[in-house]
Every structure is written in structure tokens, then in C-alpha cells.
Amino acid sequence: MSSGAISGESRQKALIIGGGVAGSVSAMALQRAGMDSVVYEAYARGAEGAGAFLTFASNGMDALRAIDAHHLVLAEGFPTPHMAFQSGTGKHLGEVPNGGTLPDGTVSQTLKRADLYRALRDEAVRRGVRVEYGKRLLNAETTPDGGVAARFEDGTEAEGDLLIGADGIQSRTRRIIDPAAPGARYVPVLNISGYARGVRVQAEPGTFRMVFGKRAFFGYAVHPSGEVWWFANPPRAVEPDKAELAATTTGQWRELLTDLFANDATPAAEIIRSTPGRIVGWATYDLPSVPNWHKGPMIIIGDAAHATAPSSGQGATMAIEDAIELARCLRDLTDTQQAFVAYERLRRERVERIVAHGARTSNSKAAGPIARVLRDLMLPMFLKRAAGNGDKALARMHDYHIVWDEKVA
Ligand SMILES: Cc1cc2nc3c(=O)[nH]c(=O)nc-3n(C[C@H](O)[C@H](O)[C@H](O)COP(=O)(O)OP(=O)(O)OC[C@H]3O[C@@H](n4cnc5c(N)ncnc54)[C@H](O)[C@@H]3O)c2cc1C
């Protein structure tokens, strides 16, 4: 199928593994770059569930503009450009921008993860991308002509010129590329979120209120409908097993959380009590550094290659930047290997810096009693600096801009 070189004669075909954020955006970006692709998603259609919400930073909005897809996030999300921090005692610690502001005034948005997945996937399909469901990748190998053959759990196979592993933090593609590749690293906080109704809280529209509580971290924002969208990060030093999390009932989560926040001067306990429906908890993981991102005609992007703890607010946006930068590289460089090398040069330093930032932020949420006192003393100074645009790390995170029309050298 392929000699590994992108010729002008026939369109290259990519097998994209995973129909999450990176997979759908990859398919749309490759289409713009003049390549065909098929997305193979392990789960049945609509299996995303209600689940968690995420903050979609302005750099992700900017990246989606390169493929005219930013309107999808604006349609699903609500603007959350500010964060205000307080301690469990009710002391105001400071305020910082939640992401940057694009030249046209676009700011970070908050939306349900399932809505983001659905919107991106539906748009890819609307643009003519084929998505196949129930296709869990088992194995892949290079074919004699330099292309790639993939084998799925249902016994079917597919062939293409290259394979893009966008199969998330537990990526099978990562292990196919390098059987010794690292696995996800446990970050010592849990993630629990929900949507409260009928509770009145003091929060300005567009502001996430973040509380470094005495025993756990809590964040909330008011949706335009009046719902209060919240998340909690109880510290948990030892990784819980999946069965334990799955067996924890909504009542048990509610009891644990209301107890953790009972002595904080915040509305956390009341918000949790006012949350109807199911409450679900996740363990938190990241993936700091994967030595080999590509091998032959296969490459990993998004969480499969570098996952950040949710506290950086950058996981989805990095996956999107990856997908678009990879498409640019494949468009402009005549050889797939050269394209992969150029892609890694563009991406590795940035994403690893953001993963490290996410780990630091998560660890500060799991601070012990002494570290907590120090943190609450130091934080106002850090927040003041960040608010004054003096935080270069944050600025670098949000100011990333992809010039789609610029040729990759
Ligand atoms: C609780 C929580 C909160 C978060 N909050 C934020 C936030 O505020 N801001 C933010 O930017 N990010 C946040 N994230 C991170 C963000 O969701 C991820 O970084 C992003 O979804 C990564 O996209 P991806 O496409 O690389 O992987 P995923 O979205 O995980 O998609 C991978 C896809 O591959 C499929 N798949 C897996 N294995 C296979 C296989 N073998 N064969 C075929 N398909 C397969 C999966 O079913 C899935 O559809 C959060 C994550 C969590 C868990």
C-alpha cells in the first residue's frame, strides 16, 4: 500500500485508532491536509455516558480554528475565564485567569466531556470521515511495502499507509510501538464530579471558585441554567483498585465528601447534598514521558503519548494541538519518518512541561498539614504574580498558536 513516502499520485490513508478527542480532530485535520483516514473506536456508539466535565482552554479554541471547528466548543460550552481561590477557612487567596484570551475575545469554555466527544465525532462524520465502532485494536505490524496492517478484537483487519494511535492513556498502540513503554502513573488524588440543582451559591458567572479545603480540594462554577458544576479531589495516597471505585455507591461518595468538607467555610457540603443522580469517582493518572512516540509507520498522539492530570486543564487541548500539528507535518514533509521526527520536535518539550505542571498542581492538592500551611501562605503571592501576567509558564501554556498555512520545514 505504501513506500512510506507521500506521493502526489494517490492519497495516503491513515488508520486512526480511537475516536476520542485526538482521533476525531486528527481525521478532520488529515482531510484538510489531503489525506484519507478511517477512525476505529473500541466502544459502541454513544458509550461515552454523562460523566465529568472539562475546562477547555483558549489555546484549544485557537487550535480548533485551524480546521474551522472551534464553533463546536462554543456551542456546547459556557465561558469560564476566571478562577478565584480561597482556603477552607474562607480566606480569599487570589484570582487568576483560567486560560488566556484570544485576540477576538474568545475565552476558555467549560463543557461535558461526553458533549465534546460527540460534537467532534459528529462533525468529522458530517465532513465525510468514516468511523467504525466496536473495533478494539489488538495488534498492528508493518507490511512488506512499508504500510501497516491492524488487527481488531472482533477478528477483522485493516490496512493503511500509516497508523495513528489516539487510543488514550491506556493505549494499546503505545505498547505495540514499544513493549517496554511506561504505563500510566497514579497521581495521589481522586476525581469526583457532579451537577447540583436548586442550590444558591455566591459565584460570579464565568468564575470557577477553587477551595483548598482543610481535608480536600473543591471547585465549582455556576452554569447559565443555574446548575452548579462541581468537582472534588480528595487526597488518596494509595491507588484504589478499579473494583473498589466501581463498587462505591452514590450514597457512599456523598457521605465521604460531605464529611470531608463539613468543617470548611464553603458551600461544598450543601452543593454535594443538592446533587441528584449518580455520583462517580475516578482515580487520577498521568503519563510524564514516553521515550518512543513512533516506530515505522505508527505513531501515538494525545493521552496515548503524554497524559496530564486534569488539574492542568490542558489534556484535551494538547490532544487537539497534537492532531493538527501532526497533520501539518504529514502534509508538508515528503517522507512519513521525516514527518514524525518533525512532529516530535514541535511537540515533546511543550507537552512534557505541561504534564509536569499538572503533577505539581495535583500534588499541592494532596498536601499534608505542614505543607498545607506553607501553601496557603505562599499561594497569594504566586496567584498575584500569575494574575499580573508575570507567570511565564502559564503564558507559554496558553499562548501556543498553530499557523496552519505555514509550511513545516
Ligand atoms: C476526570 C477528568 C477530568 C478532566 N478534565 C480535563 C480538563 O478540565 N481539561 C482538559 O483539557 N482535559 C481534561 N481531562 C483530560 C482529557 O479528557 C484527555 O486529555 C483527553 O480526552 C485526551 O484525548 P485523547 O483523544 O488522547 O484520549 P481519549 O479522550 O481517552 O480517547 C481515546 C479513545 O480511544 C478509544 N480506545 C482506547 N483503546 C482503544 C483500542 N485498543 N482500540 C480502539 N479504540 C480504543 C477509547 O474508547 C476513546 O474513545 C480530564 C480527564 C479526566 C479523566
The answer, yes or no, to whether residue 7 has pLDDT greater than 50, is: no
- Rounded distance from Cα 395 to ligand 1 centre (Å): 24
Cα–Cα distance for residue pair 166/22, rounded to 1 Å: 6
Residue with CA nearest ligand 1 atom 39: 167
Looking at per-residue pLDDT, the higher value among 28 and 377 belongs to 28
In this prediction, residue 328 carries a pLDDT of 98
CA distances from 3 to 148, 293, 299, 336 (A): 11, 21, 17, 9
**Is residue 100 packed enough to be buried (19+ CB in 10 Å), middle (13-18) or exposed (0-12)?**
buried
Q: What kind and span of H or E run contains 16?
A: strand 13-17
The answer, yes or no, to whether residue 110 has pLDDT greater than 60, is: yes
In this prediction, residue 370 carries a pLDDT of 64
**Is residue 184 packed enough to be buried (19+ CB in 10 Å), middle (13-18) or exposed (0-12)?**
middle
Looking at per-residue pLDDT, the higher value among 10 and 169 belongs to 169
The answer, yes or no, to whether residue 344 has pLDDT greater than 60, is: yes
Mean pLDDT, range 97-125, rounded to an integer: 95
Residue with CA nearest ligand 1 atom 12: 315
340: pLDDT confidence band, cut at 50, 70 and 90? very high
Of 45-59, 70-84, 188-202, least confident by mean pLDDT is 45-59
Angle at 140 between CA 161 and CA 33, to 5 degrees: 30
Do 42 and 136 touch, CB atoms closer than 8 A?
yes
4: pLDDT confidence band, cut at 50, 70 and 90? very low
- Rounded distance from Cα 92 to ligand 1 centre (Å): 33
Residues in contact with 179: Cβ distance below 8 Å, sequence separation at least 6, in sequence order: none
- Point out the ligand 1 atom lying closest to the alpha carbon of residue 169: 30
pLDDT tens for residues 285-297? Answer: 999 999 999 999 9
Mean pLDDT, range 347-376, rounded to an integer: 81
Across the chain, mean pLDDT equals 92
- Rounded distance from Cα 77 to ligand 1 centre (Å): 18
- Rounded distance from Cα 381 to ligand 1 centre (Å): 34
394: pLDDT confidence band, cut at 50, 70 and 90? confident
In this prediction, residue 127 carries a pLDDT of 98
The answer, yes or no, to whether residue 309 has pLDDT greater than 90, is: yes
- Rounded distance from Cα 388 to ligand 1 centre (Å): 32
- Looking at the chain, the whole-number percentage of residues with pLDDT higher than 90 is 81
Residues near ligand 1 (Cβ within 6 A): 17-23, 40-43, 52, 54-55, 113, 135-137, 166-168, 172, 191, 282, 302-304, 310, 313-317, 319
Residue with CA nearest ligand 1 atom 35: 18
Mean pLDDT, range 63-82, rounded to an integer: 97
CA dihedral 396, 401, 402, 407 (to 10 degrees): -90
- Point out the ligand 1 atom lying closest to the alpha carbon of residue 57: 11
3: pLDDT confidence band, cut at 50, 70 and 90? very low
- Rounded distance from Cα 315 to ligand 1 centre (Å): 8
The answer, yes or no, to whether residue 216 has pLDDT greater than 80, is: yes
- Point out the ligand 1 atom lying closest to the alpha carbon of residue 316: 11
Instruction: Indicate the pTM of the whole model.
Output: 0.93
C-alpha cell at 270: 450543601
In this prediction, residue 134 carries a pLDDT of 97
In this prediction, residue 367 carries a pLDDT of 66
Do 54 and 178 touch, CB atoms closer than 8 A?
no
Mean pLDDT, range 177-194, rounded to an integer: 96
